[in-house]
Amino acid sequence: ADDSKLEQLKAQGFARVAIANEPPYTAVAADGKVSGAAPDVAREIFKRLGVGDIVASISEYGAMIPGLQAGRFDVVTAGLFMKPERCAAVAYSEPVLCDAEAMLVKKGNPKGFKSYEDVAKDTSATIGAPGGGTEEKLALNAGVPRERVIVVPDGQSGLKMLQDGRIDAYSLPVLSINDLVKKANDPNLEVIAPVQGAPVYCDGAAFKKGDEALRDAYDVELAKLKKSGEFAKIIEPYGFSAAAAMSTTRDKLCAAK
Amino acid sequence: MTQWSGYLGLILQGALVTIELTLMGSVLALIMAFLAGIGRLSRFFVLRALATAYIEFFRGTSIFVQLFWVYFVLPLAGISLTPLQAGVLALGLNVGAYAAEVVRGAIQSIGREQYEACIALNLGRWQGMRHVILPQALLVMLPTFGNNAIELLKATSVVSLISLADLTFQAQVVRSQTGNTLMPFTTILVIYFVLALIISWGVRSLERRMARGLDGVRV
Amino acid sequence: MDWDWNFVREILPTLIQGVKITILATLLGSVLAAIVGLAIALARRSPNRAVSRSVGFLAEFIRGTPLLVQLYFIFYVLPDFGILLPPLVAGVIGLGLHYGTYTAEVYRAGIDNVPRGQWEAAKACNLSAGQTWTHIIIPQAIPPMIPALANYFIAMFKETPLLSAITVLELMNQAKSVANTYYRYIEPMTLVGAFFLVISLFSVVLLRWLEHRYGKIER
Amino acid sequence: MLAPIIKVDAISKSFGAFKVLDGLSMQVMPGEKLALIGPSGSGKTTILRILMTLEKIDGGHIQIDGEQLYHMERNGQLLAADERHLAKMRQKIGMVFQLFNLFPHKCVMDNVTLAPMLTKGMARGAAEKRAMELLDMVGMADKAKAMPAQLSGGQKQRVAIARALALSPKIMLFDEVTSALDPELVEEVLNVMRKLAAETDMTMLLVTHEMGFAHDFADRVLFFDRGRIVEEGKPDEIFRHPKQERTQGFLKKIIAAGHRV
Amino acid sequence: MLAPIIKVDAISKSFGAFKVLDGLSMQVMPGEKLALIGPSGSGKTTILRILMTLEKIDGGHIQIDGEQLYHMERNGQLLAADERHLAKMRQKIGMVFQLFNLFPHKCVMDNVTLAPMLTKGMARGAAEKRAMELLDMVGMADKAKAMPAQLSGGQKQRVAIARALALSPKIMLFDEVTSALDPELVEEVLNVMRKLAAETDMTMLLVTHEMGFAHDFADRVLFFDRGRIVEEGKPDEIFRHPKQERTQGFLKKIIAAGHRV
Ligand SMILES: Nc1ncnc2c1ncn2[C@@H]1O[C@H](COP(=O)(O)OP(=O)(O)OP(=O)(O)O)[C@@H](O)[C@H]1O
Ligand SMILES: Nc1ncnc2c1ncn2[C@@H]1O[C@H](COP(=O)(O)OP(=O)(O)OP(=O)(O)O)[C@@H](O)[C@H]1O
Ligand SMILES: [Mg+2]
Ligand SMILES: [Mg+2]
């Protein structure tokens, strides 16, 4: 609950961050090097804080918060969007990456989905979403029954299931979907973005409850980065908008209903 | 697929982690197997009960649950392990419980007459175990130990769940980075199979070497 | 993080949904494994070398590689070849094939354990090959197999959490999803563990009984 | 002149590199009682197993009751026998094993009736009537419903004899039928066999280490050594006045070991 | 007067509800050679196993060489013997089993030297020297490096005898040491035992079905039936003129089964 955490990280020379396996939030190059918008920002800020490097380990979304709580990571930088319940479970930094929600459907959008409510209304429709992810909750909150929300372990699996007709829609943030579609190079797919009625979410670096001092230090450097324009330089090549992140705050996002 | 060779490198890194896990897990499993296997045959009730509880618990719950527990719940009790340690611990304890039953079965499979010969020659309990029973039982255990090692190798694939970059995990990474499913999965299936073949080959040659004494002239 | 009974009460109905799928998958998988195992055992005895060899290799391959990867393969790769299976069906096929390679060994051992004298006596009684199988060999081979078969079905039961990787909403998947929704891991994971432990303690009793009932045939 | 019922002509048999039978020939007349004796490993069991078609031969010919055993004639050519031919030939032969080989999952009665019902299509009633007669003859009628595991060795062996007889073979083969029995139980089995020898005109081949019994039972004794018949003759000749040195040595050892001749 | 080396006093032993030994008493003098005969299941093996402490007794007392076997005196009280006491008593007794029970993973030499080295702390050199003498006595010196699997049954049994002798027990127990052997191999083992009986003054108890050998070997014969000693005496008395009906019946059966007496 004090500065000791940062001192500790400085002493060991690196911070352990959890990332997802979901381009463009995170990318793993053929040589195994971790990049992507979220880790790049974290790396830069930690450098400025005096922590030489980050050690990234890829984790399932569902395993991130328990891992953080169990002290396996010092911070999660993985496109873990701020939501009130999550704000209660972890200590977020100010917003970093913002994105709207998108749905991937078959060409021509045969079922005419525009929102999660549309999926709820069509009793034969199934939607795929990452387990424990924002999209899963949005779908559930929109009234899609549990058994029609298919928990998909990762983006490629979701894409595959959609192509194979196992699900009717696959929902992820816009940029993730775009990246998937680009790689799949499949003319029979169509992206619906943004999903109507779904808010724009922003993630932040998530720290363990109790590490607020570290979080605050992080926020200071993040603010400087945003101001100097370097922030935009890091994230915009990946397709994210710096303006979006700067237009909102943690307090707003955590309070949102 | 120009980058395929690069991603193959990733998979090979994963193979190293898998091998490391298998080796360290096997060592732990072997230790636990002998402790619990012999413990289960002990004259002392407490030892028997401890060994039985260990064996039944680890054979009874799924390896997944054990892994999640070791990884996510133990730290809450103040015991924090690296993913590798957690993986080795869960795999070793789990497979060790199965192997303990192998140890017990092998010891019991040695005929009563061998124990009686030990008594008639006035060997103590431990002397008989050490010089007469265990050397024979070892040969009985060996083939099943080989199978256990292969089970352990296969079980390593679940450590991908606790973000340990083993073969399966790297295949998933490669899959999401390249968008190709067939290549990484086929590759790791072949690698797993080759590793399994190496294990069974190793165990078989060890077995041959040990069995040689039983019908050949000792030199 | 403390244990919260109210939370337990809240999530129990969801978990029980998962239990149903877990049990269904185990039952269907067992039936399939019993059939696949018999098919493999018979194919391996085939006088046609090509059949026995290739089936033998395939079985070795399946047994030497992790079920998790096989499930990915069946679920994500087979559709490329025009085979699209619903998650539960894919899971049951994966379990059935994987454990079929184990039950095949049980069948083989059961048949081999019928003493040679029985085959010879059947011949001396001038029974035909078919009569020998149906009246002499199978009736003696099956009962001793039952405990070993049951053992594998229990092992299969403990591997059903793997099906969560291919989106089957069995117990483990339900637990994970509950955990992800509420960010509480201790209760769901511990309940899953307890559930598996309880079932396998029961199955230990069942196994002992089966062994007692069928384990040995009096000659 | 009567034709021999078994005619073994220069047969040979190897296991791997080891030659067990080496150009063996012999003839057995219908109704004859033969004892095969000789040291361990000399091929006595092997020749019985060959006659029962439990082993294949490597060379030579065997005729049973005027028909080729391992060969069949098709258009004037001798071909290797197929399973059908073997099944037909096996009807003439029954065998009793050293370790009884009863079917452990069937009761005594079913052990005896199984083969007649399956191979000869006998009705259950008829098969059971005949089985009862046979069990009565071997003194096991009261155990018809017992399971093999409940019987002593001697009782098992008597059931095994009844089972072999149930198919009414012309030739019966006995391979050391008492050597797995406790000494006290030997006699009950030998009694059954004496009775059998006296009451039927079946041809019988008997491998035994019980020299006393061989002496009383057999019309003719064959002494085997290393896959050949070294000496043969009437029991008295063989046991009292063996001509061959090998035979003398064997009998001496057996007597020294405490067996009565 | 010499004191008996074994004094068995009214011991009884049951397996479950079945009473195997029923108030059995007997005494054996030092150096005496005893043969125990009797029908199967009469308790002969059981009494040997009790003396070797392989079975516990339910009641009665046994003294070996003046000391209690299953009891020990502490402050004037008789307590059940603990493992230490039993180990001490076992030094006086050696046993040879029907099925040899050699250690299959150790060569002949190691089989013989293992116990002396472990229990008496003998140095390897001394143990091997003594082992060679014993192997030489049983005619197995040239097989010292062979593994048990390479030996015939008779050879195995001779090694087993050497192994038991290596601990220099005062009393040797032999339980049907030839009954698992091929008839031709029996004599080589009996020869060793004859030599042993002639050359040493060890006390020996022998269970056997070889009546001829029992006759030549024993100073005294005990006839067991249903857990009691029904008759005892010099071999000639027992074998030629048995007094008890049970003994007569037993001997008659054995003879009929082809054993020489
Ligand atoms: N299936 C087999 N494979 C290899 N060798 C065999 C086989 N069956 C028998 N033999 C060998 O053939 C030889 C003759 O065996 P056979 O059983 O005919 O002897 P036997 O005269 O019956 O001897 P015994 O009196 O010991 O029964 C033996 O050396 C035996 O080891
Ligand atoms: N461990 C045991 N459990 C139950 N019953 C036993 C056990 N050991 C021996 N018996 C029974 O005790 C009785 C006496 O056995 P024992 O072996 O002493 O007889 P024996 O005189 O040596 O007979 P044999 O000549 O057949 O060796 C037998 O009926 C046997 O079945
Ligand atoms: Mg034979
Ligand atoms: Mg006995």
Taking the C-alpha atoms of residue B161 and residue A63, their distance in angstroms, rounded to an integer, is 8
Q: With bands split at pLDDT 50, 70 and 90, how would you rate the model's confidence at C164?
A: confident
Mean pLDDT of D236-245: 90
A122 C-alpha to ligand 3 centroid (Å): 80
Taking the C-alpha atoms of residue E25 and residue E36, their distance in angstroms, rounded to an integer, is 14
Atom 6 of ligand 2, nearest CA residue: E15
Return the residue of D nearest to E258 by Cα.
D260
pLDDT digit string, tens, across residues B124-173: 888 999 999 999 999 889 989 999 999 999 999 988 777 788 898 888 88
Go through A133-148 and write b for each residue having 16 or more CB atoms within 10 A of its CB, e for each that does not.
bbbbbbbbebebeeeb
pLDDT digit string, tens, across residues C13-34: 989 999 999 999 999 999 999 9
Which parts of chain E have pLDDT scores under 70?
1, 256-261
Whether C47 is covered by a domain: the verdict is yes
E181 C-alpha to ligand 1 centroid (Å): 16
What's the CATH number where C200 sits?
1.10.3720.10
Whether D44 is covered by a domain: the verdict is no
D142 is written with which tokens?
A: 């009261």
Return the residue of C nearest to D172 by Cα.
C124
Q: Range of C79's domain?
A: 5-214
Q: Decide whether any atom of ligand 2 lies within 6 Å of the E41 Cβ.
A: yes
pLDDT digit string, tens, across residues D158-217: 999 999 999 999 999 999 998 888 877 888 899 999 999 888 889 999 999 888 889 989
Hey, which residues 22-61 in chain E have their CB within 8 Å of chain D? 39-40
Helix, strand or coil, per DSSP, at residue B85: helix
**Among D166, D151, D161, CA closest to D107:** D151
Q: Which of B73, B153, B156 sits opposite C185 (nearest CB)?
A: B73
Taking the C-alpha atoms of residue D228 and residue E248, their distance in angstroms, rounded to an integer, is 43
Q: With bands split at pLDDT 50, 70 and 90, how would you rate the model's confidence at A79?
A: confident
E185 vs D95, residue with greater confidence: D95
For a ligand 1 pocket test, name from D19, D22, D36, D44 the mutation site with the most ligand atoms within 8 angstroms of its C-beta. Answer: D44
Highest mean pLDDT among A90-99, A143-152, C206-215: A90-99
* Alpha-carbon distance values, E2 to B94, E6, E35, E66 (Å): 65, 12, 21, 12
Q: Which of B122, B142, B218 to mutate to test the interface with E (most CBs of E within 10 A)?
A: B122
**Alpha-carbon Rg for chain A in angstroms:** 18
Has residue D249 got a pLDDT over 50?
A: yes
Has residue A84 got a pLDDT over 90?
A: no
Taking the C-alpha atoms of residue B9 and residue E11, their distance in angstroms, rounded to an integer, is 77
Taking the C-alpha atoms of residue B176 and residue A36, their distance in angstroms, rounded to an integer, is 13
pLDDT digit string, tens, across residues D108-123: 999 999 999 999 999 9
What was the pLDDT predicted at D258? 56
Please enumerate in sequence order all residues whose Cβ is within 8 A of that of A228, keeping only pairs 6 or more positions apart, or say none. none
Has residue B68 got a pLDDT over 80?
A: no
Mean pLDDT of C160-187: 83
B199 is written with which tokens?
A: 């294990």
Parallel, antiparallel, or unpaired: how do β-strands E59-64 and E67-68 relate?
Answer: antiparallel
Q: With bands split at pLDDT 50, 70 and 90, how would you rate the model's confidence at B54?
A: very high
ipTM of the complex: 0.72
Whether C180 is covered by a domain: the verdict is yes
Atom 9 of ligand 2, nearest CA residue: E46
What was the pLDDT predicted at B3? 64
**Among A48, A46, A49, A23, CA closest to A34:** A23
Ligand number, closest to the Cα atom of E43: 2
Phi, then psi, of C63 in degrees rounded to 5: -75, -25
Residue C164 neighbours by CB distance under 10 Å: 26
Is E234 an interface residue toward B (CB < 8 Å)? no
Taking the C-alpha atoms of residue B138 and residue B92, their distance in angstroms, rounded to an integer, is 19
D43 C-alpha to ligand 1 centroid (Å): 6
Q: Which of E90, E99, E147 sits opposite B113 (nearest CB)?
A: E99
Hey, are the CB atoms on A23 and B177 less than 8 Å from each other?
yes
H/E segment holding residue D192: helix D183-199
Taking the C-alpha atoms of residue A161 and residue A167, their distance in angstroms, rounded to an integer, is 6
* Alpha-carbon distance values, A62 to A92, A133, B14, D185, E104 (Å): 17, 8, 22, 74, 56
Q: Which of C71, C183, C184 to mutate to test the interface with A (most CBs of A within 10 A)?
A: C183
Is A91 an interface residue toward C (CB < 8 Å)? no
pLDDT digit string, tens, across residues C143-153: 888 888 888 88
DSSP state of A25: T
Whether E123 is covered by a domain: the verdict is yes
Domains of chain B: 2-211 (1.10.3720.10)
Mean pLDDT rounded to a whole number for chain A = 87
Whether D46 is covered by a domain: the verdict is no
Is A28 an interface residue toward B (CB < 8 Å)? yes
Parallel, antiparallel, or unpaired: how do β-strands A127-130 and A149-152 relate?
Answer: parallel
Is C180 an interface residue toward D (CB < 8 Å)? no
Nearest-5° angle of CA A178, CA A182, CA A186?
A: 110
Whether D99 is covered by a domain: the verdict is yes
Minimum mean pLDDT range among B94-98, C53-57, E111-115, E187-191: E187-191
Has residue B198 got a pLDDT over 90?
A: yes
Q: Which of B116, B214, B216 sits opposite E104 (nearest CB)?
A: B214
Whether C188 is covered by a domain: the verdict is yes
Q: With bands split at pLDDT 50, 70 and 90, how would you rate the model's confidence at A1?
A: very low
Whether C158 is covered by a domain: the verdict is yes
Has residue B1 got a pLDDT over 50?
A: no
pLDDT digit string, tens, across residues C69-97: 999 999 888 888 888 888 999 999 999 99
Nearest CA-CA distance, residue A87 and chain C, Å:
11
Whether C150 is covered by a domain: the verdict is yes
Parallel, antiparallel, or unpaired: how do β-strands E77-80 and E71-74 relate?
Answer: antiparallel
Cβ–Cβ under 8 Å, residues C106 and C152: yes
Q: How many CB pairs under 8 A join A and C?
A: 53
Whether D219 is covered by a domain: the verdict is no
What was the pLDDT predicted at B214? 65
DSSP state of C73: I
Nearest CA-CA distance, residue B92 and chain A, Å:
21
Has residue A183 got a pLDDT over 90?
A: no
Taking the C-alpha atoms of residue A180 and residue A158, their distance in angstroms, rounded to an integer, is 10
Mean pLDDT rounded to a whole number for chain C = 88
Q: With bands split at pLDDT 50, 70 and 90, how would you rate the model's confidence at C215?
A: low
What was the pLDDT predicted at C216? 58
Whether D153 is covered by a domain: the verdict is yes
Q: With bands split at pLDDT 50, 70 and 90, how would you rate the model's confidence at D256?
A: low
Q: Decide whether any atom of ligand 2 lies within 6 Å of the E20 Cβ.
A: yes
Cβ–Cβ under 8 Å, residues A17 and A77: yes
**From edge to edge, which strands make up the β-sheet containing D6-15?**
D18-28, D6-15, D59-64, D67-68
Mean pLDDT of A63-87: 84
Structural domain count of chain C:
1
Is D186 an interface residue toward E (CB < 8 Å)? yes
For chain E, how far is it from start to end, CA to CA, in angstroms?
34
Taking the C-alpha atoms of residue E175 and residue E161, their distance in angstroms, rounded to an integer, is 11
Q: Range of D121's domain?
A: 93-168
Is C86 an interface residue toward D (CB < 8 Å)? no
Taking the C-alpha atoms of residue B154 and residue B94, their distance in angstroms, rounded to an integer, is 13
D229 C-alpha to ligand 1 centroid (Å): 15
What was the pLDDT predicted at A67? 81
Whether D196 is covered by a domain: the verdict is no
Helix, strand or coil, per DSSP, at residue A130: strand
Whether C219 is covered by a domain: the verdict is no
Taking the C-alpha atoms of residue E209 and residue E40, their distance in angstroms, rounded to an integer, is 10
Predicted TM-score of the model (pTM): 0.76
**Among B217, B133, B131, B134, CA closest to E115:** B131
Taking the C-alpha atoms of residue E89 and residue E83, their distance in angstroms, rounded to an integer, is 10
Whether E147 is covered by a domain: the verdict is yes
Structural domain count of chain E:
1
Nearest CA-CA distance, residue B123 and chain C, Å:
33
In chain C, what residues touch D176 (CB-CB under 8 Å)? none
Taking the C-alpha atoms of residue E66 and residue C219, their distance in angstroms, rounded to an integer, is 47
Cβ–Cβ under 8 Å, residues B191 and B201: no
Q: Is the dihedral of CA A126, A131, A135, A139 positive or negative?
A: positive
